[in-house]
Amino acid sequence: MELQYLEFDCSEDTEGVVCWDALAQPAASHTAALLREVTQLLAWASRFGPQGPGPLDEGADWDFDLQVQLHRAHTTQSTPAQAHWQAAQQSLNIHPAPGPEDRVELSLSLSGTPAFAQALREHWNAP
């Protein structure tokens, strides 16, 4: 699969842990598609194995950090939003929810073990 909205920069530490960092800020008309893409990626990661998300140094296969900022339509204000991933429901909830004309600035850091990294690269064509 190819990602359309998330472009990752990749780094690897000396123990083989790989970290991907992406920033996305598409036009408001693409907000729903961006959130679907993030949801699909996190759903795939949740199905990868029972050990994650969580701290890799405590035995998890993968972990992530997701930050969302809303840029409200017709204002210069931005509002931080809370993003909650619910693995059991495979859903991403954002509060407050973006309106149809709001732009979303999204930052996603995803880290994983070497096995997770290999699977992610193969499935998502990631760097």
If one counts the domains in the chain, the total is 1
Q: How confident is the model at residue 49 (pLDDT cuts 50, 70, 90)?
A: confident
* pLDDT over 80 at 51, yes or no: no
Please state the rounded mean pLDDT for residues 48-70.
Answer: 91
Closest CA to 16 of 112, 120, 123, 124: 112
* pLDDT over 90 at 32, yes or no: yes
Residue 86 resides in a domain = yes
User: Within 10 A of 92 (CB to CB), how many other CB atoms are there?
Assistant: 19
Residue 2 resides in a domain = no
Task: Tell me the pLDDT tens digit for each residue of 109-124.
Answer: 999 999 999 999 999 8
pTM over 0.75: yes
Residue 10 resides in a domain = no
Structural domain harbouring 43: 17-102+112-124
* pLDDT at site 15: 83
* pLDDT at site 74: 80
Distances in whole angstroms, Cα of residue 83 to Cα of each of 10, 12, 93, 119, 122: 23, 26, 6, 25, 27
